[in-house]
Amino acid sequence: MRSLAIGATGMQAQQLNVEVISNNIANSATNGFKAQRAEFQDLLYQNMRRIGSTSSDAGTIVPSGVQIGAGVRTASVYRIMSQGNLTVTENQLDIAVNGNGFFQIQLPTGETAYTRDGSFSLNPQGQIVTSNGYLLNPAITVPPNSQSITVSATGQVQAKIAGTVTPATVGQVTLAAFPNDAGLEATGDNLFLETPASGTAVTGNPGVQGFGSIVQGSLETSNVNVVQEITNLITAQRAYEMNSKVIKTTDEMMQTVGQMQ
Amino acid sequence: MENPVYISLSRMVALQRQMDVVANNVANATSTGFKREHVMFSEYLQRPSMGERVSMVRDRATTRDMSPGPMSATSNPLDLAIRGKGYFVVDTLNGPHYTRAGRFQLDPKGQIVDNNGLPVLGTDMKPITLQNGANEVRIQGDGSVFTNLDPKTPVGKINVVTFDKEQQMSEVGSGLFLTDEKPQPAPKDTRLAQGVIEESNVQPVVEMTNMMNVLRQYQGIEKIIDSEHKSQQNMIQKLGRQA
């Protein structure tokens, strides 16, 4: 009986769904994390009685045939790129993007990665780096004798240097935007890489059209809605149970056949 | 003499098929744009001899429940749901296919494609390509696609079509449908919603009760075959003894 195998595909799919949901919940306190969703599609169909075949000599046709589906498969696990909440940290190098755009990070390999996690700090050379020590791109160096750093809404970084009155402009934070954010590839460490599905990065200053603005002293938390994840988890668990029920019912039907004399 | 067994068997085979359909519905309870199916049975009349009528059962068709599934917001700019009747058109090597699953993405050429990388066709039956450098996509209710580079002129209009005989469309998997019928433009009240997807319209409670029903009927028929078997055995024993 096909329903046994069909039920199994359903259980596999829901298992993956639970895995995705658990990763979301595990990262619900990760800065700049974007929630993921598993996407399912029906598998191929078997035609037992083909639609549109002739059913009599008078040329009448079968209005709808017998098509039996073979179950479900995972089509994709995509990312929901909505804005996360901003929390105020009062740390002058915690910057968040309010709106569209990613910070560009120079990886040690020379590649550019993209992140929404704006918890930056300074390295011994005074450069602005991520919590992993990767350089912000374009690189910004803060003079060693500066007292405070200001990042404007448009991304201009100014440092107040001891003994001077007017703060000196030390750099400009630029953002990268993509036609399809959901197509970015996550590499862990809160970083994303450009893919053919995301489209090519367009860089620009914060605050101009198509880019969000910078909020200093704030961090973007994950966009995971825990309540929604828990309800999704319940749905996934119940769907899993239902599929196991399908298998059990099929088993009972086969048992019935086995008991026939 | 064997007719009761054959009639029961025809029902058992039909019930097995029904169970397959229910299992497929349950498995696809979370598939985007999936439409639940049910089996239609019909009587299959036989006249083995004068004045005798035997009704078998056969599964004549699987029909699709075309009611809309619940809409769920994803806030992804390329997730589209059709409110009302209609299908998206995607291009394949075997000609256009139709789908309700609006989980779209971009490919390296900037074309809007579906989950399997098949280009989504516009009203001109050509793929819709976003300009280089566009980073915001806005899709209006009528299917017009705008980007931030030119908010006035659309880069294309997503084609939404309908068919008179929806039940005659056959499924090819991956949420795609195929039909020979000529597509017609969707009615005026069909609108696209951006950032929303249509979920499966499978109702778990209905499927579970169907499943229990199938099982109980199956077991009931087994009882009929069993008792028929017993009465035949009885008959042979009694008649055999007299002989």
- Is residue B95 classed exposed, middle or buried when 0-12, 13-18 and 19+ CB atoms within 10 A define those classes? exposed
Provide mean pLDDT across the span A143-168.
88
Task: Express each pLDDT in A156-188 by its tens digit.
Answer: 999 988 888 888 899 999 999 887 777 888 888
Interchain contact, B21 vs A198, CB within 8 Å: no
Residues of A in contact with B20 (CB under 8 A): 1-3, 6, 68-69
Out of A9-13, A51-55, B218-222, B232-236, least confident range: A51-55
Residues of A in contact with B208 (CB under 8 A): 242, 245
Using CB atoms, pick whichever of B31, B60, B208 lies closest to residue A42. B31
Same domain, B79 and B191: yes
Report which of residues A193 and A145 the model is more confident about: A193
Query: Three-state secondary structure along B20-66?
Result: HHHHHHHHCCCECCCCCEEEEEEEEEECCCCCCCEEEEEEEEEEECC
Same domain, B87 and B162: yes
Out of A28-42, A231-245, B55-69, least confident range: B55-69
Task: Express each pLDDT in B65-91 by its tens digit.
Answer: 888 999 988 777 888 999 988 999 999
Same domain, B128 and B151: yes
Provide mean pLDDT across the span B141-145.
90
DSSP letter (8 states) at residue A194: -
Looking at residue A178, what is its pLDDT? 84
Instruction: State the distance between the two ends of chain B, measured CA to CA, in whole angstroms.
Output: 20
Same domain, B80 and B171: yes
User: CA nearest B126: which of B101, B109, B148?
Assistant: B109
Is pLDDT above 80 for B228?
yes
Tokens 């498995």 belong to B27
d(CA B139, CA B189) in angstroms, rounded, equals 16
Residues of A in contact with B21 (CB under 8 A): 68-69
For residue B231, the Cα-to-chain-centroid distance in whole angstroms is 43
Same domain, B157 and B190: yes
Looking at residue A12, what is its pLDDT? 92
The pTM assigned to this predicted structure is 0.79
For an interface test with B, which of A1, A3, A14, A46 has the most B Cβ atoms less than 10 Å from its Cβ? A3
CA–CA distances in Å: residue B152 to residues B80, B156, B191: 21, 12, 20
Q: Which domain holds residue B163?
A: 71-198
Extract the tokens encoding A18: 């639970």
Out of A31-35, A77-81, B198-202, least confident range: A77-81
Residues of A in contact with B134 (CB under 8 A): 179, 199, 202
Same domain, B18 and B84: no
B163 and chain A in contact, CB less than 8 A:
no
DSSP letter (8 states) at residue B174: T
What ipTM was reported for this prediction?
Answer: 0.73
- Which residues 187-226 of B are in CB contact (within 8 Å) with A? 204, 207-208, 211-212, 214-215, 218-219, 222, 225-226
Using CB atoms, pick whichever of A197, A235, A236 lies closest to residue B106. A197
pLDDT mean across residues, chain B: 87
User: CA nearest A213: which of A95, A129, A87, A113?
Assistant: A95
Residue B44 pLDDT level (bands cut at 50, 70, 90): confident
Same domain, B215 and B188: no
Residues of B in contact with A7 (CB under 8 A): 23, 26-27
Extract the tokens encoding B189: 């009240």
Same domain, B102 and B46: no
Dmax over CA atoms of chain B, in Å, equals 98
Do β-strands B71-73 and B196-198 pair in parallel, antiparallel, or remain unpaired? antiparallel
Instruction: State the distance between the two ends of chain A, measured CA to CA, in whole angstroms.
Output: 20
For an interface test with A, which of B57, B105, B113, B179 has the most A Cβ atoms less than 10 Å from its Cβ? B105
Is pLDDT above 80 for A234?
yes
Looking at residue B243, what is its pLDDT? 60
Is pLDDT above 80 for A51?
no
Same domain, B167 and B218: no
**Structural domains of chain B, count:** 2
Residue B33 pLDDT level (bands cut at 50, 70, 90): confident
Same domain, B78 and B188: yes
Provide mean pLDDT across the span A214-238.
91
- Report the share of chain B in percent with pLDDT over 70: 98
Same domain, B116 and B139: yes
Extract the tokens encoding A190: 């809160």
pLDDT mean across residues, chain A: 88
Looking at residue B133, what is its pLDDT? 67
Same domain, B133 and B225: no
- DSSP per-residue codes, A85-127: PEEE---TTBEEEESS-EEEEE-TTS-EEEES--B-EE-TTSB
Looking at residue A106, what is its pLDDT? 92
Interchain contact, A242 vs B204, CB within 8 Å: yes
Looking at residue A182, what is its pLDDT? 78
Extract the tokens encoding B43: 């009587």
Residue B1 pLDDT level (bands cut at 50, 70, 90): low
